[in-house]
Structure 1
Amino acid sequence: MTDDETASEHECTFCAIVAGRAEASLVHDDGTAVVFMDLNPVTRGHLLVAPRMHAVGLEDLDATTSAHVWSVGHAMARALRRSSLACEGINVLVCDGEVAFQTVPHFHLHVIPRYAGDGWTIVPETQERDRSLLDVDARAIREAFASTD
């Protein structure tokens, strides 16, 4: 780890929460992942699931930690459904990179309980893409996937 990486971890809000240097309303901590309430929730019960280790995005997570974080996110979604919050649905969201709306440079899952009329919408502007272009994109992704660890 370089001095720059160490400095960025010390300035990371989620690293401070994980280390107990910043306040958070903790839901779960198992030594690999921490779950806490989002300070600026989209809806009541909005959770954040973060690895204890500092990782900015998906590319920075090892497979074991990634699988564990997603497993904890799944368990939290189930807990939300069973809780007295009485949510009617769940969104699980990852914002990986600034252009994808990531505001905290520490990987995390948003587990967002949904309620009828809660006012939060995801309305993308989609366009059908020509099959030949989809095939080119699929090939590029297959090639990259074949070279991953």
Structure 2
Amino acid sequence: MSNDLFCEIVAGERPAHIVHSDEVVVAFLDTRPVFKGHVLVVPRLHVETFGDLGEVGPFFERVQLVTRAVEEGLEAAGTFVAMNNRISQSVAHLHVHVVPRNPKDGLRGFFWPRTKYASEEEAGSYAELIAKALPAG
């Protein structure tokens, strides 16, 4: 384990309001929630970024489990599920935010500014660059 806040929570060295814990993840309430019931899902194994996570299936099965529990347990109409990867990642330990949402809850749009492609050709060139970076197969 690393020496970060989330590793300390996983190890039981720092208190947290844990909502789920198993061999793959620990999920707990965010101490600075967007809305009450905002949960962070972290892998037990210390990894800093999404790219560092080995097998993604078991991790995201737990994220899905927590998402359903937030909606059902809090009678939320939906959830906002998000992950920062390096930029705006306040703790250098992979974590997914599961935030309860309801109509007219005050969260408007997205937090980031939006832009437009100058043309279909420009959009195509970005798609091509990304596609070329993917492994063959």
Please, which of 82, 87, 91 is the counterpart of residue 76 of structure 2? 87
Tell me: CA distance 1:105–1:147, structure 2 relative to 1, closer, same or farther (3 Å). farther
How far apart are residue 142 of structure 1 and its match?
1.2
One-letter code of the match for 1:143? Answer: K
Structure 1: give runs of 5+ residues left out of the alignment.
1-5
The one-letter code matched in structure 2 to 1:82 is: E
- Bigger drift between 102-111 and 126-135 goes to 126-135
How far, CA to CA, are the matches of 1:127 and 1:71 in structure 2?
A: 32
Deviation at 1:126, TM superposition (A): 2.1
Cross-structure match for 1:125:
113
Select between 105-114 and 133-142 the one with higher mean Cα deviation: 133-142
The corresponding residue for 2:68 is 78
Structure 1: which amino acid aligns with 2:62?
V
- What are the superposed Cα offsets for residues 49-73 of structure 1, whole Å, 9 maximum, x if unpaired? 00001111111111x1x22221111
With the length of structure 1 as denominator, give the TM-score of the two structures. Answer: 0.83
Q: CA RMSD in A?
A: 1.8
Q: Give secondary structure in 2 for the equivalent of 1:139.
A: helix
1:128 Cα shift?
Answer: 2.4
TM-score using structure 2 length: 0.89
Given residue 51 of structure 1, which amino acid in structure 2 is its aligned partner? P
- Counterpart pick for 1:139 among 103, 128, 135: 128
Q: Greater share of helix residues, 1 or 2?
A: 1
Residues 1:126 and 1:35: Cα distance change in structure 2 (over 3 Å): same
Residue 54 (1) aligns with residue 46 (2): yes
Could you report, residue by residue, the CA deviation over 1:64-92 in whole angstroms, capped at 9, with x for unpaired residues? Answer: 1x222211111111112211x22122100
Moved over 6 A (4+): none
Q: Once the two structures are superposed, what CA deviation does each residue of 1:78-116 show, in whole Å capped at 9, x if it has no partner? A: 112211x22122100001112xx2111100100000123
Q: Which residue of 1 aligns with 2:57?
A: 67
Percent of pairs with identical residues = 31
For the residue of structure 1 that corresponds to 2:47, the secondary structure is: coil
Aligned residue in 2 for 1:42: 34
- Unaligned residue ranges in structure 2 (runs of 5+): none
